[in-house]
Structure 1
Amino acid sequence: MLRAFLNRKKTRKLSEVSDVRLAEEYDFIVKSKAHLDGLEKIRKVKLRSYKWRKNIAVPVAVVITPVLGYVDYMLLFLQSGDDRGAGLTVLALGALYAWVTHPRRQYAKAYKLKILPRLATLFGDFTYDLKGKIAIYKMQPSKILPSHDRCDSEDYFSGMYKGVDIEFSEVDFKQRRRSKNRTYYVSVFKGLVILLDMNTKKFYGHTMLDKNKGKIGEWFKQKSSNLKRANLVDPAFEKIFDVYTNDQVEARYLIDPVMIERLKGLQMEYGGEGMTAAFYDSKMLILIESKHNYFEPAALEIPATDPRSILSMKKEIGEILSLIDRLDLYDPQKVREENNLTLDNVESGVV
């Protein structure tokens, strides 16, 4: 598959490669060929291991499930409904599943450690850390973080693009819950978190974008955030999102038709089930809720040399960077002038 991709590119004249990013993709895949060939050897070994384990696990599961199910039933009966000693079936099948799928996780980890750091450099001064995370103190002032007791993170990218510091990773915010017999954690948000910091440009106000939650949800949001509902110009957008701010002029300037389309595109690209965002200080924070696993290689059954997996990851990152292209146009001086103009109009009775 990789060879066919490269051969197809070689047949094109240099003048035909007008898209710089396409040329970069081709160059990146050429330079990654040695890594992908090495990963293909790992993939074949892990695929054989996975198939062997699966062939063993299926008959084992068929045998032990009814046996352990009966044991669980007897334990519940003997303990008068107390389930602390039961659950052997779930435990055993969970362990069996983890054993069978272990080769898949090993391959995914090897792929990430080999390819994602190289993919990060394709966008400039970027780095990749498998278990890195965005510092909570940077995100806390946004007012959009869910209440949580634990934060798990993976696939952390950081760098600078067009003078904007950027960090993004997969995050799982969890709350601690207690029942009669145990303490456990429940996910309250799982998805992609993106933090942009413009450094030299600072927002005048605080603007939040949240899922449309109806009138009651809107009332609670305004009370809890001390922000007011913003009046925008896109009715279709307002059916999906609510915008709250303490600076109406800046909110309309930030959430303009171009930004609206970028945010819609970002949510669609990442298959988000919900999205929230905040503009505060010099930062923009975006939370995209989704059960999808981002920045993952293709299935174990697909050759590592297939370039589509890399190009798909590159496209995901490109969607994030498109937001920076839009924020680069943000001009605080223009917002100040429009604010002053609005105040002058109010005082003169024009508005």
Structure 2
Amino acid sequence: MSTNFTISSAVENILVELEVQRKKIVSSKMQGWSSIILGVICFGIGCVLSQVILAIVGFVIVIPGAIILFRISDDVAQYKSRFKQEVVGAALSSVDKTLTLDPNRGILESEFRSSQLFTTSPDRYSTEDLIRGTIGKTSFYFAEVHAEYKTEVQTKSGRQVTWHDILKGIVFTADFNKNFNGVTVVRPKDFGSKIGAWFSKNVYSFGDKNVVELENEDFSKNFVTYSNDQIEARYILTPAMMEKINDLNQRSANAISLSFIDTRMYIAFPLDKNYFEPPVFKTLLKPDLLDDDMSVLAFMYDIVRELDLNTRIWTKQ
């Protein structure tokens, strides 16, 4: 699947409409923020110079700016919704008729927890942009997830709360066509990376006795594997599978994490940007507009091919 995505003429027409809407939003935002900034400056100068009238004028100027920004929020929401439904949705359908996008749904928090990809339980959780599809015999879905945990420290000025990312990225899951008896989890071995926080609070009972020793040196350098069924873990992680996971990890910008639970395989990809979102301060009318979004989709397709999930070597019992 090519990452240089060609936008259809029908989608181009929608983008022309949305570009007009985008420019109105930008104009209103500029007007609103200009009013607020000017008002704050006047208010600040008035306070410093003890000019009550100037301070009042500044306060009055801020109000219409705030109102403009408040009113434009509905237009921004509609703009984003149309882009996802009519542009990204149409683009996905043109690639594969089985693909669907639901901007308001994602990976349920309960499923996120039960995937056991993470050793930290989230205190704050959000998810969006659920994409479903089928490649050959393999059904899959993935969504953007932002899961965080908090730490609290007592300081002289009071209790300070700090939020830390567990995952900001994508969780992908696919039908593995196998009823697993146990749970097998493959996590990054690099404790020094920014995903080291995954190991900060041990939610599950995996310990040293659950570590699976595997005979792939490169794989063991990148990952640590846990399972409560050692035989099944080795059955899943064949030499060919470990090579493919290594290749997948090298192609990902950040270290991936995997789990095999019930009948499904889960993979977590930390990402540094939010996908499937329309630009607000940049034009929509550019040929490479959807290339990044489609590259994510292509990567998910490659997972099914790389891991050979369409080869039904097992049968569900």
TM-score, with length taken from structure 2: 0.70
Cα distance, 1:260–1:155 mapped onto 2, change above 3 Å: same
Structure-1 residue corresponding to 2:58: none
**Where do residues 208-247 of structure 1 align in structure 2 (5 Å cutoff)?**
208-213=185-190, 224-225=205-206, 227-235=210-218, 237-245=219-227, 246=230, 247=233
Per-residue deviation at 1:29?
2.2
Contact 2:173–2:265 (Cα < 8 Å) also in 1? yes
Query: Which residue does the alignment assign to 1:345?
Result: none
Matched, 1:262 2:234: no
On the 8 A contact 2:2/2:298 being kept in 1, the answer is no
Contact 1:197 1:283 in 2 (8 A): yes
Aligned counterpart for 1:162 among listed residues 136, 140, 148: 136
Partner of 1:295: 276
Q: Of the candidates 138, 147, 169, which is equivalent to residue 121 of structure 2?
A: 147
Aligned to 1:280: 261
8 Å contact from structure 1 (residues 203, 279) kept in 2 = yes
Give the distance between the partners of 1:68 and 1:104, measured in 2 at CA: 35
- Which letter maps to 1:47? V
Q: Is the 8 A contact 2:150 2:164 kept in 1?
A: no
Distance 1:65 1:252, change over 3 A: farther
Distance in 1 of aligned mates of 2:190 and 2:313 = 31
Q: Unpaired runs of 5+ in structure 1?
A: 1-19, 70-91, 335-351
The offset of 1:138, in angstroms, is: 3.9
Equivalent in the alignment of 2:291: 311
1:292 Cα offset (Å): 1.9
User: Which residue number in structure 1 is paired with residue 103 of structure 2?
Assistant: 130
Matched-pair contact (CA < 8 Å) for 1:203–1:332: no
Higher fraction of helix: 1
| Counterpart contact for 2:147–2:168, Cα < 8 Å | no
* One of 99, 114, 132 as aligned partner of 2:86: 114
Cross-structure match for 1:189: 166
Shift of 1:318: 0.9
- Any conservation in 1 of the 2:107–2:145 contact (CA below 8 Å)? no
Taking only the aligned residue pairs, the percentage that are identical comes to 15
Q: Which has the higher contact order (CA 8 A, sep 6+)?
A: 2
| Partners of 1:184 and 1:106 in 2: CA distance | 34
Structure 1 pair 313–35 and aligned structure 2 pair: CA distance change class (3 A): same
Give the deviation of 1:264 after TM superposition.
2.5
Q: CA deviation at 1:209?
A: 1.8
2:8 and 2:188 mapped to 1: Cα distance? 39
Aligned residues: 280
Shift of 1:63: 4.6
Distance 1:175 1:60, change over 3 A: same
Q: Counterparts of 2:222 and 2:47 in 1: how far apart (Å)?
A: 48
Task: Output the aligned Cα RMSD.
Answer: 4.1
Q: Which runs of 5+ in 2 are unaligned?
A: 49-61, 193-197
Tell me the TM-score normalised to structure 1 length: 0.64
